[in-house]
Amino acid sequence: MFRLKNVILTACVSIVLLACDGFKMPKNIFDSSARARYERSFKGADSLMTEWKKNFEVAATSQLSVHDGFSAIVEYEINDLHALAYHLELNRGERLIIKAGLPESPGQRIFVDVDPADSPVSPASSQLLQADGYSEVIENTGRYRIIIQPEIGFSGTFNLRIYTQPSLAFPVAGKGNAAVQSFWGAARDGGARNHEGVDIFAARGTPVVAAVDGIVMRTGHQGLGGKQVWLRDGLLGNSLYYAHLDSVMTTAGTRVRTGDTLGTVGTTGNAKGGSPHLHFGIYSTGSAVDPWPFLRKRDAAKSSPLKIPALQTLKASSNLRRGPGADFEIIANVPSKTSVRILAHVGDWLHIKTESLEGFVLLTRLY
């Protein structure tokens, strides 16, 4: 009995020590990220893995940028170990989507890392880019770093697409972006207050629907909002506010699914005398949040399937830009004819690498 107590005591002390800040567990001992698992299971030469990991760390320092809707043709040869890294501005409520299409050799792995651009690189966040792509709802507005790196020995061509879609369904049946005619921050009451939502215009009586699965927390007819519905997105989620309704067709406590009708578009409250519309707002921990990124639909860009040999020569006096477009800053001028490696083809632009530089140039700058 005494020995059993000692065993239990030793185990408890060990747990406490492990929990203390002063005791450091071996790094990544329980790390279950896709990248960590791959590194542990790799059976090839250590030098290959060392170089692969080094290229990931180098990519994490890249300052290249792209816009929402980025699409590129990327080709890897079997000995390529480099990683692609791009910064992208994202807004709270957007759903980030990353797809690579189907590689020419199925079953090969591509790793994706998405982190705030100002955060340290963390291989623990790596995920595998699945056949249906990578998807994440952005919780904080800011600049993000996206790193794409195929596994060692990957060989093939893929269409890398990085774009956003709304995280909520559109709250007025049959309508879309064009129906939103008043946005977040617009002046109200002669500048006395700002618009904390978006106004979606539609004919009186058009169904207003649940933008997400949730529970109706409150309905009523009061104040500036007139007839209104408050929908809670999960127990600790956002509160969605539907105002100026012509009719309310739900009750507090009702659980609804995305697309269920909550009421109809109208002009109640301070919308009386104006055009019928839905005022749609989002509140999180008591504060209003711009709902437009949650709702705005975008078209995903498509790339030409054109393939360009990887090794090329760049014309003298070529400007190297931070991103694929004339609106991106020039980061260097290549004064003389230079051999370059093509990393990605982005429409009229190429992501290239010289011995010491990396950036984007116009396709027409090649010999």
pLDDT score for 358: 96
108 in Cβ contact with 310 (< 8 Å): no
Domain that holds residue 144: 11-166
* Residue at which a domain ends, from 255, 289, 323: 289
| Same domain (yes/no): 127, 238 | no
The count of domains in the chain is 3
Burial class of 229 by CB neighbour count within 10 A (0 to 12, 13 to 18, 19+): buried
Domain presence at residue 305: no
Residue 68: how many other CB atoms lie within 10 Å? 16
Mean pLDDT of the chain: 88
| Same domain (yes/no): 114, 201 | no
| Same domain (yes/no): 209, 238 | yes
Closest CA to 68 of 101, 93, 96, 92: 96
245 in Cβ contact with 263 (< 8 Å): yes
Model confidence, pTM: 0.85
| Same domain (yes/no): 82, 201 | no
Q: Beta partners for 165?
A: 95
Q: What is the pLDDT of residues 152-192, one digit of tens each?
A: 999 988 999 999 999 999 999 999 999 998 887 666 656 66
Segments of the chain scoring below 50 in pLDDT: 1-5, 7-30
Q: In this structure, what CATH number is given to the domain that contains residue 23?
A: 2.60.120.380
- Residue 176 makes CB contacts below 8 A (sequence gap 6+) with 170, 297
The token pair at 55 is 């290229």
| Same domain (yes/no): 188, 159 | no
| Same domain (yes/no): 21, 148 | yes
| Same domain (yes/no): 159, 242 | no
Domain presence at residue 59: yes
135 in Cβ contact with 96 (< 8 Å): yes
Q: In this structure, what CATH number is given to the domain that contains residue 332?
A: 2.30.30.40
Q: What is the pLDDT of residues 206-247, one digit of tens each?
A: 999 999 999 999 999 999 999 999 999 976 689 999 999 999
| Same domain (yes/no): 272, 327 | no
pLDDT score for 111: 96
* Ramachandran angles phi, psi of 12, nearest 5°: -65, -45
| Same domain (yes/no): 138, 261 | no
| Same domain (yes/no): 160, 221 | no
